Structure 1
């Protein structure tokens, strides 16, 4: 049975008039009549009763009318779906994120995808370190990753979407909690809470800042994820130097302070090099464009180095 025959039958069944159906289909009436006879012959049934005055459906024709409408609607939906996928407007994208980004950047990502690509579904995996995301991208377990550069291994492409200032997290009763702004030098004798992974880009950024100030941070405690790390800091077991987006995770007993010389850390969108999935490309473009429209400085609460308080602090702690 050809789809063409079903479409011809459906038009005649709706109008019960071969001339009107032929006009709707833009075909000659004899060709339409011949196609209906072919369909009846193939099914070995009579679908219409015909007189010189009237065309009516038989019981078999009534049943086929319902089924033909269902089948043709399904075909039209399938064609539309295929075209939307090919145009990058529909489909599933598996997205991985680092721990803090899942709280600070995921809401913005989800909103912009819902607005710009409403027929795209996101499957989210969070608290994924950069090396794990890179491997998942290579093995096709992920389509896109939001990670901290540098990427690990080969065949991964990326685009920076945010540059964040590093800030200080301390407990509410810590001596630095009352300071409006802090320098890395102020942390020389502090105990640090860091991530337990040797591949943590956040750890690396914090350690680089301490090295520039002339000391090695005292790593007192390690945490498997951001939630545990912040809980340890709030408990007074040490301080932490983290990206400014940590402000999106308010926690009782925790204070976040600006660092005048804490440095920065990047956040990037990554994908498997050479991938040609139009849906993944569309999602990546929408995310990148959304972040490009915003000021990284404004989002990351960058300290104003020209403010009187910070200028005085820098003079006292060169």
Structure 2
């Protein structure tokens, strides 16, 4: 049984008129009548009773009408789904995110994908260091990564989506908590809380910021992640120079202050080089467009070449 025969049958069954069905299908009426006779012969049943004045469905025809409607609707849905996937409008994207980006950037990412690509299912994997994301992209365990440049290893392409200024995190009772804006020079004698990862792009940016002010930051404590780092700062164990997106994580006892002449740290969208998944292309494009205004400024200076990793 051909789909063409089912569509022809459905049109005649709906109109109970061969002439109207032929017009609707843009075929000649004799060709339509012949196709219906072929279908009846293949099924060895009579689907229509025909007189010179009337065409009516037989009981077998009534049953086939319901089944044909279900089958043809399923075929149309399958065709639409295939086309949407091929166009990048439907599918599953496994998205990896660096620590704080899950709080500061994921809401905007999820919102724009839901709005622009409602049939795309985002599966989130958070707290992934840049090297882990790069390995995941190469191993096909994630499709897209939101990470701190630079990428680690070969075979990864990326697109900048955000450049964040560095800010100061201090406890509410710290001497600098009352200042609306703080100069980096004022941190010369402070003890710092920093990430314990040797590949932290945030650490690198903080160290460069201090170097430009003429001193080396003194590390009092090392934290495995952003939540612990901010908790230590709130407890008065030291200060921290971190990306401005930490404001997405309000914490009792913690104060965030702008820093004069502080450096910046980047956030990028990354994918496997040579990937041919149209859904990856579509999602990366809508995410990049969502952050286009933010990436317009500020830009990093030539001295801000990153050699490390992320939160």
Counterparts of 1:197 and 1:67, CA distance in 2: 62
Instruction: Specify which structure has the bigger relative contact order, considering alpha-carbon pairs within 8 angstroms and separated by 6 or more residues.
Output: 2
Counterparts of 1:164 and 1:38, CA distance in 2: 69
Counterparts of 2:128 and 2:218, CA distance in 1: 25
The alpha-carbon deviation at position 264 of structure 1 amounts to 0.8
Equivalent residue, structure 2, for 1:78: 78
The alpha-carbon deviation at position 263 of structure 1 amounts to 0.8
The alpha-carbon deviation at position 296 of structure 1 amounts to 5.4
The alpha-carbon deviation at position 278 of structure 1 amounts to 1.4
Tell me the C-alpha RMSD between the 2 structures: 1.7
- Deviation per CA, 1:277-299: give whole Å up to 9, x if none: 1121111111112222346558x
1:219 equivalent to 2:219? Answer yes
Equivalent residue, structure 1, for 2:169: 169
Equivalent residue, structure 1, for 2:279: 279
Counterparts of 1:27 and 1:13, CA distance in 2: 16
Please give the TM-score of this superposition, normalised by the length of structure 2: 0.90
- Any idea what SS the aligned residue of 2:215 has? coil
Moved runs in structure 1, 4+ residues, more than 6 A?
Answer: none
Q: Is the 8 A contact 1:172 1:254 kept in 2?
A: yes
Alignment length, in residue pairs?
298
Please, which runs of 5 or more residues in structure 2 have no aligned partner? 299-311
Counterparts of 2:52 and 2:106, CA distance in 1: 68
Equivalent residue, structure 1, for 2:152: 152
Equivalent residue, structure 2, for 1:9: 9
1:110 equivalent to 2:110? Answer yes
- Deviation per CA, 1:136-185: give whole Å up to 9, x if none: 11111111111111110111111111111101111101121112222333
Counterparts of 1:296 and 1:245, CA distance in 2: 17
* Higher percent of residues as helix: 1
Equivalent residue, structure 1, for 2:119: 119
1:228 equivalent to 2:250? Answer no
The alpha-carbon deviation at position 72 of structure 1 amounts to 0.6
Counterparts of 1:58 and 1:204, CA distance in 2: 79
Q: Is the 8 A contact 2:161 2:295 kept in 1?
A: no
Q: Is the 8 A contact 2:113 2:120 kept in 1?
A: yes
Counterparts of 2:59 and 2:231, CA distance in 1: 72
Please, which runs of 5 or more residues in structure 1 have no aligned partner? 299-318
